Amino acid sequence: MGESATMPKSSPQTDLVYRTRLPVRLWHWTNALTIFIMLMTGMMIFNAHPRLYWGAFGANLDHAWLEIGNRGPHGYLTLFGFEVPTTGVLGYAMHTEQAFPPLVTLPGQYNVPVARIWHFFFAWVLVIGWLAFALYSLFSRHLKNDLLLKWEEARPASLWRDIKAHARLHLPRGEAARHYNPLQKLAYLGVLLAGVPLMVLTGLTMSPAMDAAWPWLLVLFHGRQSARSIHFIVAAGLALFIVVHLAMVLLAGPINELRSMITGWYRLPPDDAATQPVTTEEGA
């Protein structure tokens, strides 16, 4: 990446490498806050009509493929006609009849207009941050050097080997831990190149004003209701990504990982640090 750091090496326990550049750290924390607020306000907005459809007409003509509701004090989730009881979690929880309970929504009390204001504001934060990080990744070669898979990593056998290693909780250590592994690269590229753009475009498609200005959005997503469904699915995918990401941080060592994302410096494991040179190049 062109940025190096020299650290005094008194013992393996004090060997640090500069792993995460400042723009990456800024985008990470800004994105984390933005996504959390958008997910929570989005769930409040969803509470206004807790059903999803494929097509252009919604409740008028299309059959809901997903519905969260309640019958008295009994919550339920219906997915493609298959119903699951969800009392205490969805549909009826915390003594409310909302699809998503106050614990996971912003604001906590039912207030869709306020949720929309927050959602739209942080949507702009997401877009501006994404554009800035995309430009940084291109011009600094962060995309080419750190995120794009090398030929050897992209081979099916290599990817399968990495999947099996993660399934056994054999996480990269030492020198290998200084760089993104293939599964990390695929996950980050998925968020950067697919997740965020899809969230933004489907969000725009749900706006009548944007549909009037850019009618091709309705053609692209086959109607406003289909765009709403895709928006919900991508949001659920991002929520799952966050859960897996946090689990990996805990397994890899939360203190060391947080140090890397706050200060940029990462401590190599003692068994590998003794063999590392004093001057190191950034790897992520």
CB 45 within 8 A of CB 248: no
Give the single-character DSSP code of 144: I
Rounded to an integer, what distance in angstroms lies between the CA atom of residue 98 and that of residue 110?
8
Question: Looking at the domain assignment, is residue 102 inside a domain?
Answer: no
Q: Tell me if 211 is assigned to some domain.
A: yes
Entry pTM: 0.84
Collapsing DSSP states into helix, strand and coil, what is residue 175? helix
In a shared domain, residues 152 and 256: yes
Q: What is the pLDDT of residue 269?
A: 64
For tokens 């500069």, the residue is 18
Whether 105 is covered by a domain: the verdict is no
Count other Cβ atoms within 10 Å, centred on residue 200: 17
Residues 46 and 74 in one domain: no
60 and 158 part of one domain: no
pLDDT digits (tens, 9 = 90+) for 174-232: 667 778 888 989 999 999 999 999 999 999 999 989 989 999 999 999 999 999 999 99
pLDDT band at 267 (very low <50, low <70, confident <90, very high): confident
In a domain, residue 122? The reply is yes
Q: Is residue 104 part of a domain?
A: no
Band of pLDDT at residue 59, cut at 50, 70 and 90? low
Is residue 260 a part of any domain in this protein? yes
Q: Is the pLDDT of residue 26 over 50?
A: yes
Q: Which domain holds residue 271?
A: 8-50+111-281
Overall domain count for the chain: 2
Q: Are residues 19 and 44 in the same domain?
A: yes
